[in-house]
Structure 1
Amino acid sequence: MNIIKLDAINSTNDYLKKLLQRQFVENFTIVTAENQTNGRGQMGSQWNVEEGKNLTFSVLVKDLLLEINHIFHLNVAVAVSIVEALSFLEIKDLAIKWPNDILAEGKKIGGILIENSIKSDGEIFSIVGIGLNINQKNFGDLPKASSLAVLKNKEFDKSEILTSILQNLGRNISMIMNKNTDPIWKKYHSVLYKNGIPMPFENAQNEKFMGIIQGVSQTGKLQVKLEDNLVQSFEIKEVKMLY
């Protein structure tokens, strides 16, 4: 496992993408940064961190996904790997908020951004970007954000948490390669935020409605039971949870 450690970079995902354009990069190469100046979340949102306080890293995954409709298996494996690593730290109420947020006690402590590239021969390269709030305590005007240090009132060793996440990720990726994805999906749904609980949503037309999450499909669509008892599937840009 090749680890590239950087002091500061605009984005570890972008750094890894540019490296791939210039040279051969070993599978599971990891890029970490103490300070990421232009981190991104889902749909272009910013991910701002205090220098040296948190984990910001990217992992190259290739030779894993053979079909485009299997891409969300990787999202599930990454999210579950983070939850498994943090559960050993006795972090309470860990949850995965669809599609890619990590929550604890109802607050956002981490996010995942996976960027996939499909080559002309059909090979899929995935760059897995992970941001996890570890020792940062001030989040300004972000009342829904938190960190491990805030939740547990102590500081954590970032390198130990990184190692644990990568170990879990390696195991879960092996399960995908062996086509044994059911246990990963079962774990994912067991910690899926608000699964089976009535809650408000807003669609792309800014219309609010009530629904009950039924789960996530194999292709990553959120399945919501509506007031007429019909189950509708939503893409990432089609709906957001109001919480």
Structure 2
Amino acid sequence: MHIIKLNAIDSTNSYLRQLIVTENVVDFTVVIAESQTNGRGQMGTVWESQATKNLTFSVFKDLTGLQLEHPFYISIVTSLALIKTLKSFSIPKLSVKWPNDILSGNKKICGILIENVIKQNVLSASVIGIGLNVNQTTFDTLPNASSLKEISGIVYDLDEVSYEILKHLKYYFKILKKKKFTVLKNEYEAHLFRKNKPSTFKNAEGLMFSGFIKHITDSGMLQVLLEDDIVKAFDLKEITLMY
């Protein structure tokens, strides 16, 4: 495993993607930044993080030979690796807010941004960006955010936390390589935030509606039970699950 540590960078995902173009990057190459000036989240959002307090890093995962039909399993693997890591540090009430925000209770502590590399119409690699709130304790503009320190009162060693994440990431990718899709999906669904509970959603037009989260599809769409016992599948651009 090759680890690149940077003091400051606009985005570890962007840095790693540029590196892929110019160099032969080995599997599980990791880029860790003490400070990100332009961290990115899902759907073009910005990931805010205090310098030196948190973990902001990206992992290069070579997918050559995996023949992965549904790229969402990369998101499942990453989410489960983070859940497993945080459980090892005794963080309580962990769940995955679809598609891949990691929560403790109702508070977001981690975000994931996965950017796939396609070569000759085949998924060849992924750049997995992870932003984990570790020792930051003030979130003035983010009322739904929290951190490991805020939850537990403990100051964490960032290197130790990153090591645990990478260890569990390798573990779950081994399961994926064995094509144990049902095992991975079942474990992911077991941690889904608000599964089988009455939940509120907002559609692309801004309208609110209610439903029950039931399952996810192999492609990562969220299956929601609506009124009249209709189960409908939504993709990320179609709905937002409200807290």
Provide the TM-score with structure 2 as the length reference: 0.97
Which digits, 9 at most, give the CA deviation of each residue in 1:83-139, with x for residues without a partner?
Answer: 001101111100100011010021000000000121016242210000000000111
CA distance in 2, matches of 1:79, 1:134: 16
For 1:88, the aligned partner's letter is S
Q: CA deviation at 1:42?
A: 0.3
Number of residues paired by the alignment? 242
Structure 2 match to 1:206: 206
Unmatched 5+ stretches in structure 1? none
Structure 2 match to 1:139: 139
For 2:119, the aligned partner's letter is K
Q: CA deviation at 1:181?
A: 2.6
Q: Answer with 118-127 or 76-85: which moved more.
A: 118-127
Q: CA deviation at 1:25?
A: 0.6
Structure 2 match to 1:81: 81
Which digits, 9 at most, give the CA deviation of each residue in 1:66-91, with x for residues without a partner?
Answer: 24x42011100000000001101111
Provide the TM-score with structure 1 as the length reference: 0.97
Q: CA deviation at 1:231?
A: 0.5
For 2:171, the aligned partner's letter is R
For 1:16, the aligned partner's letter is L
Question: Does the Cα contact within 8 Å between 2:76 and 2:185 map onto a contact in 1?
Answer: yes
Question: Does the Cα contact within 8 Å between 2:116 and 2:123 map onto a contact in 1?
Answer: no
Structure 1 match to 2:158: 158
- What is the root-mean-square deviation in Å for CA atoms of aligned residues? 1.1
CA distance in 1, matches of 2:136, 2:4: 23
CA distance in 1, matches of 2:90, 2:201: 31
2:93 matches 1:109: no
Q: 1:202 to 1:121 in 2, by over 3 A?
A: closer
CA distance in 1, matches of 2:121, 2:102: 34
CA distance in 1, matches of 2:33, 2:108: 20
Structure 2 match to 1:52: 52
Structure 1 outlier segments of 4+, above 3 Å: none
Which digits, 9 at most, give the CA deviation of each residue in 1:4-51, with x for residues without a partner?
Answer: 111110000000000111111111101000101100110010001100
2:63 matches 1:63: yes
For 1:169, the aligned partner's letter is L
CA distance in 2, matches of 1:197, 1:89: 27
What are the residue-to-residue correspondences of 1:6-25 with 2, within 5 Å?
A: 6-25=6-25
CA distance in 1, matches of 2:123, 2:196: 37
Structure 1 match to 2:215: 215
Q: CA deviation at 1:62?
A: 1.5
CA distance in 2, matches of 1:2, 1:9: 18
Q: Answer with 216-225 or 115-124: which moved more.
A: 115-124
Unmatched 5+ stretches in structure 2? none
Structure 1 match to 2:26: 26
